[in-house]
Structures are given as C-alpha cells and as structure tokens.
Chains A and B, each alone.
Chain A
Amino acid sequence: MTEMRLLDGSEAIVEAALLAGARFFAGYPMAPATELLEHMAAKLPRVDGVCINADSELQAVNMALGAAQVGARAATGSCGQGLALMQEAIAEAALNETPLVIFNIARNQQDYFQATRGGGWGDYRTVTFAPKDLHEAVEHTHLAFHVADKYRVPVIFMADNLIARTQMGTALPVPELETLPPKDWALDGTMGGTGASRWIWTFGGGKANRPGVGPDGYWRQIADKFDRIAKAEARHEQGFCDDAECVVVAFGSGGKFVEHVVRELRAEGHKIGFFRPVTLWPFPSEALEAATENASNILVFELNAGQMIDDVRLAVEGRDRIKPIGGISFDDSGLNIGPLMDARVIRTRILDQLAGKPLTELPYTGMGAYL
C-alpha cells in the first residue's frame, strides 16, 4: 500500500492538482475556498508553479485564462459567490476554446444552476464534476484537468465545505487517463506578420492567410462540440434501482448522505434505490430514465429551493412521480451547510414520502415553487 497521509479536502485537491500537472493558480480568498488558495500558494512554488492572490475574482479568472492560453494547466477557484463574478471569463473560455479548471468550494448547493446553466453569453455549457467525498474529489481533480484539455473547455469542479474540511487518509492515487495530443494551438509568442502567429478569439475570426470560418460557422462548431461532450462525458452512480419503487436523486455530499440512508432502508426491506449524477453537466439523463423506469416515486434531495429537480423533470416521464425532499438549509453563519444535511433528517423525509404524506403538510421550507 502506498503510504497514506491525513489531509483535509482542500489540501488533497491541491496535491491532486499538482500531480495532474497544474502549474498556475490565481484566486481571491472567500470562505470556504480560502484554504484551497492557501495550499496552492504554499505548494505551487515547490514545483516551479505560480500562485497569485489576485486583487479580485475577475482578475484571478482572467489571469488563469491567460496562463491556460499559453499551454499551462491552469485553474482558479472560489465559492459560488466568487464564481458569480467570473461568469464572463468562463463563457469566454468556452467560446474561445481555452481549457480552464474552476474550483468551486461551495457553501451549500445553491450553485447548481450557476454551474449547469452558467451566466455568460453564448451557446456554451460547462462540464461540472460534483464529488461526493475526498476520495472522489482527488479523482475528479485529475478528470477536470483532463477533460478541460481534451475538449479545450472550461470545467467546473464543485465540492463543498464538508469535503474541504473533512480529513481523510489518502494515498492520492493518480487515475490512468488517455494521453492527450500536444497543445499545438497554444500561444507561443510568435508575432503577427510572421505568417505563423496564433490567435485565440471568441469570434472565430481568421487572418489574411487563413480566413477561418467566421462567427456563424465558428459558433456552430462550438455548439457541435458541446453536443459531442454531452454524449460522451455524462457520469453517474446508482444502487438498488432495478426493482426500486422509490429512487432518491442527490448530488455531491448530498449523494453520499442519501446513499447511506438508502442502504439502511434497503437493509430494512424497503424497495428503494439511489441515483447520483457525478457530472451535473452533462446530466446523466438517459441513465436516470432507465434507473427510474419502475419507480412510482422519484425523490430529489438538494440543499436549495429546487434546481437539479428541473433536470430530473427533463430526464424522466411522469412529473407526478417527482417530489422534492430537500430545501434551503444554512447554518447561522450563512457560510456552511445547514442541519438538513443529516442522515436522520433525510431518513425521516424519505419515510414520510413512502407513507404517502402530502408535501404541503410537512414542515419543509424553501421549496415553495415545487410544492
């Protein structure tokens, strides 16, 4: 056995990023993502990398964009509130085909729409990995850089404060991934007028000697690429769905809690299963449709007012089957996951549903639109 170290999620993600070849990080402190920046600042120089504590999130994401455009594996990171400020640059990265990893150490799960719909302009999507714990976070860090480079797209890695602050023994395994071609598109400093200069441009414009496809053709190419990614990169995890009358859908840490409760209920004889989107975009729609084929109840657990539930509704037939059992839940500081992320609470809510109690009679909060 490779020797294990006791690391919290923030440090494990940074160690994995370095092993994945990340050599540039720029960020701006914001709880609970600050530790990620601190570990990057301490560790990147040791591998001749660069970490910059920027003046703002806008500056940070654009610095990372620049580093990625000269071929480095580069990343930025914050919590969802910081990513809100970075939206324009993320859209630019998608449209000008820059591989960029954006770490979101989220305060909660209200970041789902932001990650999967985005706030920038254009026909783009952001591949989003949502690990359930530290071990998966280590794996997803490698995958995030790999997928970003493979397709030349921005990739969002969405963990949360539970993952960031829980310490686990890890040997930091490196997954085996296919070898990618060299970055022959990266800017190399060659000047205009030499006939060999390279352009990275959101409008897909060309040069006198290489006119390019123009904006219309370019944005079609980009949209086609996201279609290809949607078909190839959806990932999920499921359990006990074959004969399940009830399937509970949850992502990230929530998925880990739901799996725990579902295993308990299975052991007690309930015909119940769990389904966890591992990538939030592409959403594993076909797999969810198959997994819920025989279910009369599809329960959606998420710590927000109802975001992923939209994707569940798009993926499966029969809206009457789909019910929210999550809700908004913060601790008193407003910076951390609240008391709803608790196996006993989740268990009660599932059992209420199995008993057929109407949602409107239950003391759930923050899901008005879905009740």
Chain B
Amino acid sequence: MELDLFVSGIGGQGVQLIGKTIALAALREDRHVMFSGEFGGHMRGGSSVVTVVIGPDPVRALPNLPSAGTAIAMSHSFWEKVGPRLRPGSLILAEETIADALPDTEGHILVRVPALALGTRAGNRLSASMAMMGAFSELTGAIGLQSLEEAMTEQLPPYRKQHAGTNASAIALGAEHIRAEGLSGRHPAPYLAESIPA
C-alpha cells in the first residue's frame, strides 16, 4: 500500500524541498515515488503545497491527490487546501508554534515538532524543514535517516555546500526529538508491513 503525503506551508519555508528530498530518499531505497507541486504556488510568501506518494510498486495515485493519510504542516496558512482532503485518522506532523492554529484536527493524530527551534539549535532557522524530515523519518520509518541525508546532500548546489553540515544536524535533531518523546516507529508507513523490494 502507498503512503500519500501532503506538505503544506508558505513559499520559502522549504515545502518543495521537503517533498523532493523525501521522494529522492525513497528512490534511494528502491521505492516507487511520485512528487508533484500544486502549480502556481511556487512564489515566496504564497501558498505552497506538494504531494509525495511512496510505494512498493509503480505508483498509481493521481497527480493531484483527492485525499491523503499523512500531512506535514509548516504553517497554518493555506491549510484549507490540505485539511479537508485528509482521511479520518491521518497523521499530521505540525510545526509546534502553529499546531494549535490548525483547524479541525480532531479525528487525526497530531504530532507537534519544534522544527524551528531544532533548526535554530542546529545552526540555521531555515533548516527547520530538515528537522521536520528527520522527525517524519523516525516517526514513520518511511525513509531511512541515511537516505534522507544523502538525498539532501545530492540536491545542494555547489554554492550551498556549506549548509550540508547544518542540515544534517537538523535532520538528526528532528529524529532525536521523536525518540525522546518515545514515538519512534509509532506510525509506520503503510508499505512497511509488506514485502521488502528486491
């Protein structure tokens, strides 16, 4: 079974980067993936929503998902594009400072992640997106931390290589936070119960 994920926030928060990095990390683990942005929303400050689908077999999901079972909220702005499309009982990873501002989260599993604080601790507030991905990895096992770090490094252009260390620290801190909360592997990706790809 496929894991379907919405990532939502404000353009500039790293929403596109989260989606792409998770997709690339899954690909490194021989999963099948689809990654699509909601077009027109790629402006800084505008709405930014992406979808990622990961599965053991070629992805059959639609490019704009009618519904999903997992979400990452970097901001409460534009949440109306995602919230109503979550199936009952969905897993929501929300940035701690905006988690309470998300409407209608009853019936879902809400996990607060202090991504901004962890990013700041790693050395750069902008690496909040990395901390969030570390938390997602530790909570779901959908992708391994090593693949995540490799996928992050793979995408850094030469003029941003200096951020690799900070990003890696933020990923590790996000994962560590979930472990400290006792939530490691608590919400496994749907395909983990199925056979490991050859």
A161 B39 Cβ-Cβ under 8 A = yes
Most buried by A among B24, B26, B37, B63: B63
A333–B37 alpha-carbon span in the complex (Å): 16
Most buried by A among B26, B27, B66: B66
B64 A1 Cβ-Cβ under 8 A = no
B7 part of interface (Cβ distance < 8 Å): no
B24 A165 Cβ-Cβ under 8 A = no
In the assembled complex, how far is the CB of residue A60 from the closest CB belonging to chain B, in whole angstroms? Answer: 25
In the assembled complex, how far is the CB of residue A260 from the closest CB belonging to chain B, in whole angstroms? Answer: 6
A162–B34 alpha-carbon span in the complex (Å): 12
Most buried by B among A161, A168, A342: A168
A257–B61 alpha-carbon span in the complex (Å): 9
B30 A1 Cβ-Cβ under 8 A = yes
B197 part of interface (Cβ distance < 8 Å): yes
Name which residue of chain B comes closest to A161, CB basis.
B39
**A 79-117 to B, binary, CB cutoff 8 A, 1 in contact else 0:** 000000000000000000000000000000000000000
A167 B35 Cβ-Cβ under 8 A = yes
B34 A166 Cβ-Cβ under 8 A = yes
B36 A257 Cβ-Cβ under 8 A = no
A162–B35 alpha-carbon span in the complex (Å): 11
A4 B62 Cβ-Cβ under 8 A = no
Residues of chain A from 231 to 272 with CB closer than 8 A to chain B in the complex: 253, 256-257, 260
In the assembled complex, how far is the CB of residue B87 from the closest CB belonging to chain A, in whole angstroms? Answer: 13
A162–B37 alpha-carbon span in the complex (Å): 10
**A 321-356 to B, binary, CB cutoff 8 A, 1 in contact else 0:** 000000000011100100001111000000000000
B31 A169 Cβ-Cβ under 8 A = yes
A1–B33 alpha-carbon span in the complex (Å): 15
Residues of A within 8 A of B66 (CB): 260, 342-344
Residues of B within 8 A of A133 (CB): 63
A260 B27 Cβ-Cβ under 8 A = no
Summarize A's interface: helix, strand, loop or mixed.
mixed
Contact A1/B198 with A6-B27, A169-B27 known, Cβ cut-off 8 Å: yes
A341 B64 Cβ-Cβ under 8 A = yes
Partner of B40, one of A256, A333, A341: A333
Residues of A within 8 A of B37 (CB): 165
Contact A257/B62 with A6-B35, A167-B34, A331-B40 known, Cβ cut-off 8 Å: yes
B40 A167 Cβ-Cβ under 8 A = no
Contact residue range for chain A? Answer: 20 to 34
Residues of A within 8 A of B31 (CB): 169
B39 A165 Cβ-Cβ under 8 A = yes
A39 part of interface (Cβ distance < 8 Å): no
Residues of A within 8 A of B102 (CB): none
Residues of A within 8 A of B103 (CB): none
**B 1-44 to A, binary, CB cutoff 8 A, 1 in contact else 0:** 00000000000000000001001101100111111110110000
**A 144-170 to B, binary, CB cutoff 8 A, 1 in contact else 0:** 000000000000000001110111110
A341–B38 alpha-carbon span in the complex (Å): 13
A313 part of interface (Cβ distance < 8 Å): no
Residues of B within 8 A of A260 (CB): 60, 62, 66
A166 B36 Cβ-Cβ under 8 A = yes
A198 part of interface (Cβ distance < 8 Å): no
Partner of A6, one of B33, B60, B62: B33
A43 part of interface (Cβ distance < 8 Å): no
B59 part of interface (Cβ distance < 8 Å): yes
A342 B33 Cβ-Cβ under 8 A = no
B88 part of interface (Cβ distance < 8 Å): no
B58 part of interface (Cβ distance < 8 Å): yes
A6 B24 Cβ-Cβ under 8 A = yes
18 A-B contact pairs sorted by A residue (CB < 8 Å)? A4-B30, A4-B32, A6-B20, A6-B24, A161-B39, A162-B36, A163-B63, A165-B36, A167-B20, A168-B33, A168-B34, A169-B23, A169-B32, A256-B62, A260-B66, A333-B40, A342-B66, A344-B66
Add 20 more A-B contacts to A169-B27, A333-B40, A336-B40 (CB < 8 A). Answer: A1-B197, A4-B32, A6-B24, A6-B27, A166-B34, A167-B23, A167-B33, A167-B35, A167-B36, A168-B32, A168-B59, A169-B23, A169-B32, A169-B34, A256-B62, A260-B62, A331-B39, A331-B40, A332-B40, A342-B64
Minimum-distance CB pairs A-B, first 9: A343-B66, A166-B63, A166-B36, A167-B35, A169-B33, A169-B27, A168-B34, A162-B63, A344-B66
